[in-house]
């Protein structure tokens, strides 16, 4: 393993130790984890002491945790948890996590023995192993849900080293700030975030999922090449003859509850996960709480550049919730009944795209319109063609399964991967997968919701998505969105036609020639009292 480039790239950011030819935990760590597995930790205060000893055994004492973390763990487990919940956690769930962590080295070894069995239609191996997916490095990583669970258990016990993460533009992945924030400024939404994660651990400790999740960094190359669609310029958009896709307006409901298979848009921070492990509690952070497997991507995916997006397929949802931001509340279990693809991934597709933050009037300038539409286009476009799968014949895997049978890594997951890089149009026609989105970049980020709506419609259409399902969350500026989009479709406009109208409006807006929203500017008649549209 020490010769593997992927393994060498991620090893400095993992808590395990490499000693040729195997991975292992230091003996002190093994002893501590066995104590955990035997149920010898029974309070939040003792849990933090145990965590500190574990971190010392891993030589992490020079990387201090958040100052209030000890108080946060004690507050949650010793005061906020009921006696019965506390008993179940320390007698059942935490010991199961100890056992899972004892298996982490073997889970990782099995992972690297099996992941390179992904091949394309020409017989070439595609790298899918856990590694740093650096900026401008298009690529994909496949992880079993069991391995993800073990990584998240490391996060819970704050075992990830933090050195060099900031320099690498990586998010912190330990949970110390999550618990410290609970103590520093208690709120019910912060408590509910923690309940979501603990509910996830409760579920996987009693019934470990056996599926796979893929994490892909998507890139629109800055320069033209003969293989990939490059970062489009304004001429690309203004001359496009691609027809506009169907537009569905939903004034109620949630993106993650969309009834048919679609790409769910994560209104992301450039750093994947945003404030999920701190105080954040808006769209992206909530999505990460109800499906904590998303947090695993924060381990190895540095910040996104303007020409990048992150595509995540297969995460399971574990929690129900209500509310938003300060009113967010964990409301119990959620049973995810999404269909499973041939890889064992749930057919849940989430694309993380980060909008301009605080754009003000610059969002109407061509340079920034291009930045936003190309960011969405990168997310919606299936450029890499990691879509079609077929099982590899069993005999190809006989030599690889002996070390992984006990971990479920081989038999139930990696053995079933084969990628066919089929023609892009054939893939798109055989997968009626639209886009489910909403007011991307329009809340705390301060974007213009009418402009952002049109940008996402254009990007979805150009990416050949069959429809866009838009959840308005009853935003007043979009109350006539259904009428305007119906009128536009009745005119049979192309992507180029609508882009040119948006560009003309934006020029007028940036010059101060108009201060009305795009929808009213484009079709003022529908805003006239008592008028009707012909």
Q: Residues comprising the binding site for substrate?
A: 269, 283, 324
Q: What is the dihedral of CA 280, 293, 126, 435, to 10 degrees?
A: -60
Of 6, 146, 264, 285, the active-site residue reads 285
Give yes or no: 92 in active site. no
CB 142 within 8 A of CB 115: yes
461 class by beta-carbon count within 10 Å (0-12 exposed, 13-18 middle, 19+ buried):
buried
Listed residue (362, 172, 357, 344) closest to 275, CA to CA: 172
**Token pair in block for residue 506:** 């934006």
CB 45 within 8 A of CB 79: no
Of 256, 284, 293, 450, the active-site residue reads 284
Give yes or no: 35 in active site. no
Q: What per-residue string of b and e applies to 174-210 under the rule 16 or more CB within 10 Å gives b?
A: bbbbbbbbbbbeeeebbbbbbbbbbbbbbbbbeeebe
Detail the residues annotated as belonging to a binding site: 269, 283, 324
d(CA 367, CA 455): 13
d(CA 486, CA 457): 13
CB 242 within 8 A of CB 493: no
d(CA 523, CA 534): 11
d(CA 49, CA 193): 23
Of 266, 293, 308, 448, the active-site residue reads 266
d(CA 81, CA 45): 13
Give yes or no: 167 in active site. no
Task: List strand residue ranges (DSSP E) for 181-256, in order.
Answer: 212-219, 246-250
d(CA 167, CA 171): 10
d(CA 337, CA 344): 13
For the chain, count helices (H), then strands (E): 19, 14
3-state SS class at 427: helix
| Torsions phi, psi for 354 (to 5 deg) | -100, 130
Q: Point out the residues that are catalytic.
A: 266, 284-285
């Amino acid at each position: 393993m020490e010769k593997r480039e992927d393994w060498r790239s991620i090893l400095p950011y993992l808590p395990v130790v490499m000693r040729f030819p195997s991975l292992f935990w230091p003996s002190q760590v093994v002893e501590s984890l066995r104590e955990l597995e035997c149920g010898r930790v029974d309070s939040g205060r003792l849990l933090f002491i145990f965590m500190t000893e574990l971190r010392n055994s891993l030589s992490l004492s020079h990387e201090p945790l958040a100052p209030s973390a000890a108080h946060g763990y004690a507050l949650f487990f010793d005061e906020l948890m009921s006696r019965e919940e506390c008993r179940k956690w320390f007698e059942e769930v935490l010991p199961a996590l100890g056992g899972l962590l004892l298996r982490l080295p073997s889970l990782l070894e099995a992972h690297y023995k099996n992941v390179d069995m992904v091949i394309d239609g020409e017989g070439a191996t595609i790298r899918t192993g856990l590694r740093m997916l650096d900026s401008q490095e298009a690529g994909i990583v496949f992880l079993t849900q069991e391995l993800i669970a073990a990584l998240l258990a490391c996060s819970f016990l704050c075992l990830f080293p933090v050195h060099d993460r900031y320099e690498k533009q990586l998010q912190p992945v330990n949970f110390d700030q999550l618990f410290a924030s609970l103590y520093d400024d208690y709120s019910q939404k912060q408590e509910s975030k923690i309940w979501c994660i603990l509910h996830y651990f409760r579920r996987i400790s009693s019934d470990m999922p056996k599926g796979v999740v893929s994490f892909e960094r998507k890139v629109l190359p800055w320069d033209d090449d003969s293989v990939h669609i490059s970062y489009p310029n304004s001429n690309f958009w203004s001359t496009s003859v691609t027809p506009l896709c169907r537009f569905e307006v939903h004034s109620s409901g949630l993106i993650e509850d969309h009834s048919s298979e679609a790409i769910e848009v994560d209104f992301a921070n450039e750093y994947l996960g945003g404030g999920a492990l701190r105080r954040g509690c808006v769209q992206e952070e909530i999505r990460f709480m109800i499906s904590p497997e998303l947090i695993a991507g924060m381990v190895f995916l540095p910040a996104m550049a303007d020409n990048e997006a992150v595509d995540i397929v297969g995460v399971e949802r574990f929690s129900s919730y209500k509310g938003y931001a300060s009113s967010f509340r964990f409301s119990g279990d959620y049973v995810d009944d999404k269909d499973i693809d041939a890889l064992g991934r749930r057919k849940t597709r989430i694309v993380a795209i980060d909008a301009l933050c605080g754009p003000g009037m610059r969002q109407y300038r061509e340079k920034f319109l291009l930045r936003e539409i190309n960011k969405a286009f990168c997310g919606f476009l299936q450029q890499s063609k990691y879509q079609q799968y077929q099982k590899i014949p069993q005999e190809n895997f006989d030599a690889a399964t002996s070390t992984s049978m006990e971990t479920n890594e081989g038999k139930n997951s990696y053995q079933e991967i084969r990628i066919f890089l089929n023609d892009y149009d054939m893939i798109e026609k055989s997968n009626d997968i639209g886009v489910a989105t909403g007011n991307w970049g329009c809340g705390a980020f301060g974007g213009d919701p009418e402009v952002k709506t049109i940008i996402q419609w254009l990007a979805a259409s150009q990416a050949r998505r069959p429809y866009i399902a838009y959840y308005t969350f009853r935003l007043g500026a979009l109350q006539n969105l259904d009428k305007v989009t119906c009128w536009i479709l009745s005119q049979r406009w192309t992507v180029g036609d609508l882009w040119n109208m948006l560009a003309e409006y934006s020029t007028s807006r940036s010059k101060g020639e108009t201060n009305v929203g795009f929808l009213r500017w484009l079709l003022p008649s529908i805003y006239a009292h008592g008028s009707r549209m012909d």
